[in-house]
């Protein structure tokens, strides 16, 4: 960790302490009172999304307009229900929410809408019609990645599938769409399937279990919701050469994308397995900027602009043909087409790299890392 980063963290901590004390009432009164209700913040994706939302609220275009309060409900839908209601009671104009359940919140969201509160759900969906939803098309994500894999394998081969959290709509849609594609090719066989919980660490344990009775040589391809970085690392550990890595359709972690760069590319801070390996990949993601965009749309909605009820985000897809290294990770640079960050800037390979949106010039790499907006 560089000294600079440490200093930045300290400054941020101090800033947060000030924020925790709360703004004076008079100051807050002129601003739109907006709440963020997060579910569980104990994983990388949630924390990154939260950073980006905070950065968006701190950007100069919104800082004078928005009084954002962030609350965490934990994994319990009951508590999120109560939290949303408490937010409504304390005068929220809009509530941005990462919904724990697409259906369980319907009643309380309807109740909020009836009181004129705009409710924006990001990443996952709320099925209550009065809620605004900002997310990707999960069916498309499952379909496109499966089609890519089938094409890479010429319609023939043994594959392993690592799914997400069972019982969620997101996992259900992605897996179903992918399996529909695989079913069209009788020579594609799913020989192993495990629940990956959208975590690199779990993906590793599950793959180890599957490979205890199998050999990498019996497998031709991988379809994983999260875990390609880990799968590639494991193959390298097992003695495979970089050129022999199996094609892997999976998530948009920065580590996985660095591995997609041609072998031998000079990248600052790279160390195997977090290093270029020319891995054959398609990288997709549920982008963590969706919450920040939802906040921006919420302000627009409060100000009376016409905001559509459903915003389907373009599916961020990166293949070996389109992979491009960012230098600093500013929004302008990403706009020019770069989509992966140096390990010297992003030391966590499991960090989600799909942070670019045409619609959010307020936030770039620093927003996702430490919650600082672009200038």
Please report, as residue ranges, which positions from 73 to 92 form the binding site for another protein (by CB under 8 A): 73-79, 81-83, 85-87, 89-91
Minimum distance from residue 248 beta carbon to another protein (Å): 16
Fill in the per-residue mask, 102 to 131: x = in contact with another protein (CB under 8 A), - = not in contact: xxxxxx-------------------x----
Q: Which of residues 188-247 bind another protein (CB under 8 A)?
A: 190-195, 197, 199-202, 204-206, 208-214, 230, 233-234, 237
How is residue 315 annotated by DSSP? P
Q: How many other CB atoms sit within 10 Å of the CB of residue 375? A: 9
Minimum distance from residue 2 beta carbon to another protein (Å): 10
Options 169, 265, 320, 330; binder of another protein; rule CB under 8 A? 169
- Asked if residue 14 binds another protein (CB under 8 A), the reply is no
Options 5, 7, 14, 183; binder of another protein; rule CB under 8 A? 5
Options 47, 63, 325, 338; binder of another protein; rule CB under 8 A? 47
**Planar angle of CA 211, 197, 320, nearest 5 degrees:** 70
- Asked if residue 158 binds another protein (CB under 8 A), the reply is no
Minimum distance from residue 321 beta carbon to another protein (Å): 27
> DSSP string of 142-158?
HHHHHHHHHHHTTT-EE
Which of 78/322 has CB closer to another protein?
A: 78
Q: Specify the long-range contacts of residues 206-209, CB closer than 8 Å, at least 24 apart.
A: 206/162, 207/160, 207/162, 207/231, 207/234, 208/234
Which of 150/307 has CB closer to another protein?
A: 150
**Cα 6 to Cα 22: distance, rounded to the nearest angstrom:** 25
Which of 26/271 has CB closer to another protein?
A: 271
Q: How many residues does the chain have?
A: 375
Q: How many other CB atoms sit within 10 Å of the CB of residue 342? A: 19
**Planar angle of CA 59, 64, 69, nearest 5 degrees:** 80
What is Dmax (Cα atoms) for the chain? 68
- Asked if residue 338 binds another protein (CB under 8 A), the reply is no
Residues 190, 253 contacting (CB under 8 angstroms): no
């Amino acid at each position: 960790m560089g000294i600079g980063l440490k200093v930045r963290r300290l400054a941020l901590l101090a800033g947060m302490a000030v924020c925790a004390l709360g703004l004076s009432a008079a100051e807050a009164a002129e601003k739109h009172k907006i709440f963020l209700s997060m579910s569980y913040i104990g994983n990388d994706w949630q924390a990154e999304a939260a950073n980006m939302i905070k950065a968006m609220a701190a950007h100069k275009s919104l800082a004078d307009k928005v009084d954002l309060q962030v609350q965490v409900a934990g994994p319990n839908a009951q508590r999120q229900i109560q939290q949303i209601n408490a937010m409504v009671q304390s005068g929220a104009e809009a509530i941005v929410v990462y919904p724990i359940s697409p259906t369980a919140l319907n009643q309380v969201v309807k109740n909020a809408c009836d009181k004129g509160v705009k409710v924006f759900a990001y990443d996952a969906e709320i099925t209550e019609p009065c809620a605004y939803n900002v997310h990707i098309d999960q069916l498309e994500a499952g379909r496109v990645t499966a089609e890519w894999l089938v094409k890479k394998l010429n319609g023939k081969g043994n594959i392993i599938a690592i799914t997400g959290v069972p019982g969620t709509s997101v996992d259900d849609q992605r897996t179903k769409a992918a399996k529909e594609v695989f079913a069209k090719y009788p020579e594609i066989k799913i020989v192993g399937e495990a629940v990956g919980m959208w975590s690199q660490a779990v993906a590793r344990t599950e793959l180890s279990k599957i490979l205890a009775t199998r050999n990498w040589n019996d497998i031709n391809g991988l379809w994983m919701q999260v875990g390609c970085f880990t799968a590639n690392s494991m193959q390298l550990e097992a003695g495979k050469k970089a050129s022999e890595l199996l094609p892997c359709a999976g998530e948009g972690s920065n580590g996985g994308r660095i591995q997609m760069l041609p072998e031998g590319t000079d990248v600052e801070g790279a160390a195997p397995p977090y290093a270029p390996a020319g891995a054959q990949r398609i990288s997709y993601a549920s982008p963590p900027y969706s919450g920040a965009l939802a906040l921006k749309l919420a302000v627009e909605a409060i100000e009376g602009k016409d905001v559509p009820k459903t915003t389907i985000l373009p599916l961020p897809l990166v293949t070996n043909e389109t992979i491009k290294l960012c230098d600093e990770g500013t929004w302008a640079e990403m706009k020019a087409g770069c989509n992966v960050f140096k390990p010297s800037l992003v030391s966590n390979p499991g960090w989600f790299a799909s942070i670019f949106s045409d619609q959010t010039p307020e936030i770039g790499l620093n927003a996702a890392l430490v919650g600082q907006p672009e200038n």
